[in-house]
Structure 1
Amino acid sequence: MNQELAEKYILHALETQLPATLYYHSVHHTLDVTQAAMQLATAEGITEEEPRKLLRTAALFHDAGFLRTFDEHEAAGCELVHDVLPGFEYSPAQIETICAMITATKLPQAPHSHLAEILCDADLDYLGRPDFEPIANTLFLEFQARQIVAADENAWNRLQEQFLVAHHYWTTTAITNREASKQARLAAIRAKLAS
């Protein structure tokens, strides 16, 4: 498994080929999720080299499906992983593990392993962070560009409220470190909706 070359390959593809209107699902998001995943893995006691490399690869490829399609990008990402990773000496079993993690991030999230739980929590780590507002704004702009949401702040806040209510973190670390802040974001959005 040549994780370093696979990383260079996918980062170059994301930097040069993603649609310009992916304001949220950009290479910046991929790097943010990868960093969060590795921090969560350490906090969750994932110390062995192979699981960490598989998690890192899944994080780097988790939104690579956007290179091919907007809808069902997780499935497209799995296809891409199957097409590309054998060339970087990943075994069929390793590729399946990576695909299972990527598939778990599809909303509503459905992780079936500890590594998948970590990736799911890393993917939505920002919900409980101080930089929630600017990151959420990039998602708003992306949804506007694709006519998923109107340029109506109340409609956007209602959508965010529904999302935050439905979302939950999976790992003990994310619950401990992010849940209270996420609830504070939800309260702030509800206050905006009430005013």
Structure 2
Amino acid sequence: MQYREILDQLRAHVANLFQSNKDERFIYHNLHHTEQVVENAVRIGNHYQLSDKDFFIVTAACWFHDLGYMVDCGQHEAKGAELADQFLKERGVDQDVIDEVKGCILATKMPQQPEGLLQQIVCDADLFHLGGESFKEKNKLMRSEVEAFTGYKVDKGRWREKTIALFKVHHYHTDYCQELLNEKKAANLAELESKMNEKKLEVIKDTNISLAKEEQKEEKKKKNERPERGVETMFRITSTNHQRLSDMADNKAHIMISTNSIILSVILSLLLRKLEDNPHLIIPTLLLLIICVVTMVFSILATRPSIPEGVFTADDIKAKRVNLLFFGNFYRMSLPDYENGMIKLMDDRDFLYGSLIKDVYSQGVVLGRKYRLLRVAYNVFMFGIIAAVLAFIVAAAAVTM
């Protein structure tokens, strides 16, 4: 397959489409933006040393990813995929390659959830500017484009809020972009938040200074009613104590398992051989054998782990039913789903403290089960050993008589 030749044809085709369907309202989503996305994809692809086929898939997807704006702005990803499908089929490109190109285009739809390296590269190339030096300029172009299509002025503060929300849910998918862009992206976000905070302060001062002071007093009063540091210290100490008690329970169980294993070994290797010559020892030996087995079973049950299904739903997050602090509730979830859940958890104070309470309670329930089973094991062992020893004494006395 002559991928380079097809890419040259593709480049000319896309440029011709932008020229023939030129719309002055496309201040941001134009040919210049598409070319920059392609350059970003080439840069990332070179880092990962993609094969000719994979390089073609990524580059072709970037050329077509925004062409759908000319057809339907609301469904531009799907329309772009259709245009790519039509063009590549006419050039005799294999269907599996076409499907991968379409998958990369559709993966750019927000919120981005790419599957595989190629889709990750296209997604990161599309939003490369969030962690770049040109972010301010491109953000202004995007706002101007929205104003051109809607026909009314977009409030800067409202636009800044939406941009901050995008920053918080977005993350780069490739390791290369994370290392290259995360630091500058964090700086861009910090600058946006700083301007947002400055604007809020100005509004407060202009509207009612006395009201602002009163709100500060109320906020201070609320903080005094529930000291944050004291609550966090309480949770930390409680969780640490539970962990220590769990370790102690495991150690106690291991002691019982090891002790009874030794006794069982002695019974099986020595006593069972002599039962034919000493039939009076059969009952004491069987009694001791049963005691050891029962004790080991309860000790093993005390240490045997139980793991939940490991999944949660958006409804669980919304209703605050799931505890994201325990691995058993999320170990089968994807990283983006878990990140979204944790972001909502950290943004909601009641949700956060509720999860900490559930975590401490769950630890206590597990500890209660462990110690109940251990108590049974120790009681069986203690009273059973006494009974076994008495049985051996009685049997020996009966023989001597």
- Equivalent-residue separation in structure 1 for 2:22 and 2:80 (angstroms): 13
Per-residue CA deviation, residues 99-148 of structure 1 (Å, 9 max, x unaligned), is 00000000111111201100000000000111111111110111122239
- Equivalent-residue separation in structure 2 for 1:81 and 1:40 (angstroms): 22
Does structure 1 residue 178 correspond to structure 2 residue 187? no
Deviates more, 1:3-12 or 1:145-154: 145-154
| Equivalent of residue 96 in structure 1, options 89, 94, 99 | 99
| Equivalent of residue 30 in structure 1, options 31, 34, 40 | 34
- Equivalent-residue separation in structure 2 for 1:177 and 1:43 (angstroms): 12
- Equivalent-residue separation in structure 2 for 1:3 and 1:89 (angstroms): 13
Q: How does 1:1-195 map to 2 (within 5 A)?
A: 1=3, 2-46=6-50, 48-147=51-150, 150-195=153-198
Alpha carbons of 1:69 and 1:91: their partners in 2 closer, same or farther (altered >3 Å)? same
- Equivalent-residue separation in structure 1 for 2:107 and 2:151 (angstroms): 23
Alpha carbons of 1:44 and 1:148: their partners in 2 closer, same or farther (altered >3 Å)? farther
Q: Which runs of 4+ in 1 moved over 6 A?
A: none
- Equivalent-residue separation in structure 1 for 2:103 and 2:16 (angstroms): 24
How many residues are aligned here? 194
Structure of greater relative contact order (alpha carbons < 8 Å, 6+ residues apart)? 1
Alpha carbons of 1:178 and 1:152: their partners in 2 closer, same or farther (altered >3 Å)? same
- Higher alpha-carbon Rg: 2
Which one-letter code corresponds to 1:50 in the other structure?
K
Identity of aligned residues (%): 26
- Equivalent-residue separation in structure 2 for 1:134 and 1:186 (angstroms): 14
Show structure 1 runs of 5+ residues with no match: none
Alpha carbons of 1:126 and 1:132: their partners in 2 closer, same or farther (altered >3 Å)? same
- Equivalent-residue separation in structure 2 for 1:122 and 1:45 (angstroms): 16
TM-score (norm 2): 0.47
TM-score (norm 1): 0.94
The Cα RMSD (Å) is 1.5
Alpha carbons of 1:104 and 1:148: their partners in 2 closer, same or farther (altered >3 Å)? farther
- Equivalent-residue separation in structure 2 for 1:133 and 1:123 (angstroms): 16
